[in-house]
Amino acid sequence: MTNLQIVILNFRTPDMTVKCVETALDEIAALKAGITAAITVVENGSEDGSYDLIRAEGAARGWLDGRRVALIDSGWNGGFGSGVNVGIRAGMPGGGRADLVYLLNSDAFPRPGAVACLIDHLATHPEAGIACSRLRGADDVPHETAFRFPSAGGEFENAAQTGPISRLLRNKIVALPQPDANLPVDWSAGASMMIRAEVLDQVGLFDETFFLYFEETDLCRRAAKAGWQTHYVWDSVVTHIGSVSTGMKEWAKVPDYWYDSRQHYFQKHHGRTGALMATLASLAGNGLWRLRCLIQRREHRTPPGHYRQMLGRALGKRHDRKGST
């Protein structure tokens, strides 16, 4: 018998969360015998009536019974990792310990068989501790969800945006070319991520220092250091709207919490000197990009104050975390 806990985090997307639960319940109903699955919805401090709306909808639809679906109020918005950890620590709705934890964004909708594919993949690949889906937008356009771990070389390449440099540093580029098959990756997006409970037992839950961004990168890196692989499962397809809770598509400026998370990631895994080198590499790459734009008489479009923010953190300046997830 395998116990599967699906954790869905809500932040100001109650209608979409209800739709996500309905989709997940359809996936549960189609699972083969021997798998017990239930859903934990964590309301993550939305302060917009989300909790009451989800509770009312769940009761009206008959699934908010504490066995198939449980609704938890985190009590505050501590970020993505913090909210997910609340759900994982609560355990299976109705009691019991999960063998597999499946993280599903409220704006992510598994296509038929997507959840079963992840379960089957982990069952047949004991070396994999984490399995993630192939994400496609509502327009069916593929999302970039297969990545290498960030590095100073990757930061330089990304900022330079120049063909010869990208070819020279092709093994450092963070975003991998769109895969066309299942394969191991350094990390993948947490919008549809299945994790063995024994991995979490071994490496711990999400690092709550990350308010938003880099938290799944960090978890996959800790798992890799403990000997577990992360697999991109091409056969598991999930429709992902993307950036609904964060408002990333409408950002006028990059929020403080992105800079804080980036700095924490590099400092945690590469030390303060390594974090500074990664920032200087990005700054140098951006210098080349700006020079190219100057020669070609085009706008560089670097966000205002971007490198001042990054350098400030790399040099030890502290900021209060503010934002939403």
Counting other chains too, the contacts that 65-70 makes at CB distance below 8 Å and 24 or more residues apart are 66/93, 66/94, 67/38, 67/93, 67/94, 68/25, 68/28, 68/38, 68/39, 68/93, 69/21, 69/25, 69/38, 69/39, 69/40, 69/41, 69/93, 70/38, 70/39, 70/40, 70/41, 70/94
CA atoms within 13 A on the CB side of 284: 13
- Among 246, 276, 294, residue at a domain's last position: 246
CA atoms of 163 and 173, how far apart (whole Å) = 12
Report the pLDDT value the prediction gives residue 323, as an integer from 0 to 100: 43
pLDDT at 51: 98
Q: Identify the pLDDT of residue 94.
A: 87
Q: pLDDT, tens digit, for every residue of 2-45? A: 999 999 999 999 999 999 999 999 999 999 999 999 999 999 99
Which of the listed residues 214, 246, 278 is the one where a domain comes to its end?
A: 246
Interhelix angle for 256-296 vs 215-225, to 10°?
A: 100
pLDDT for position 252 = 66
Residue 313's pLDDT is what? 96
List the chain residues with pLDDT less than 70: 243-252, 318-325
Please check whether residues 318 and 205 belong to one and the same domain: no
Note the pLDDT of residue 86.
Answer: 98
Beta strand pairing call for 35-43 and 2-10 = parallel
DSSP 111: P
Kindly state whether residues 80 and 133 are assigned to the same domain: yes
pLDDT attached to residue 242: 81
**In terms of domains, do 201 and 163 share one?**
no
Domain that holds residue 320: 151-170+251-325
- Spatial CA neighbour of 213 closest among 291, 156, 150: 150
Task: Tell me which of 246, 267, 282 is where a domain ends.
Answer: 246
The overall average pLDDT reported for the chain is 94
What's the domain count of the chain? 2
User: 19: Cβ–Cβ under 8 A, 6 or more apart, which residues?
Assistant: 109
Residues 49 and 138 in one domain: yes
